[in-house]
Amino acid sequence: MLYNANKTQQVAHLEIPSLHSKNVLLLNAQGDVLYEKNADMIIYPASLTKIMTAIVAIEMTEDLQVQTIVEPQTITKFTAQNASMAGFRAGDFVTVEDLLYGTLLASGADATATLAEAIVGGEDAFVTFMNNKAHELGMKDTHFVNASGLHHEAHQSSVRDISKLLRYAMENPTFYEIFTSKSYTTYVPTKLTIANSLYTKIAGVEGTIVGGKAGYTPEAGLCLASLIEKEGQQFLLITANAKGHTWIPMHIEDALTVSNIL
């Protein structure tokens, strides 16, 4: 569906006064910009970083069923930093697929670190591949320092860059399947169900937002890269820098607001 000028103007006009996020970019399925606000401003991407972590891991792995182990020091390190965790335990044997779901659905730093270790032997080396991919995709405002999105002054991006990344990643069938999943259950060796918290924080999300990756740090604010479906059409909405905390889902409210006016 192609949007005429009047429709585009209407979307932009209706969004401006009502969104909590300081940085916004809305695209249709063809990549046309329907609305933007501070889309090129440098932001801290927080866990939106994990979109890059996941797509790089997918592209560097021939067999997603390859197993690796969750190292005790990984759990200790990220628990001490109060990072979000997928729920894996020290000594668990997990597949790359398990870790990808832990990365995108649960936003687990335990998952991202274990992926990096399994694929290239450590996070520093893995981040090099992340930055190389960013350069390849023309993400001129982006520089990654880690695979999890934990705050670092030099770990930066923009919502326009994140949109380039997400459009690219969603072309990969494995990424798309994980990104649009509501939950995933693994046995590592005990049962672990990983749920996408996007669908538990606020009513009305399921059926409207068909996929999403949220992020938060105090410095980044609330961030969300979401795939919205309305009347059979798909849209990408990238938002960042909304005030609040993870239990006050202003970023998800913004996505529902946009959906209501599309």
Q: Which residues are catalytic?
A: 47, 50, 107
Nearest to 213, CA basis, from 198, 195, 228: 198
Find the angle CA(227)-CA(30)-CA(206) to the nearest 5 degrees: 15
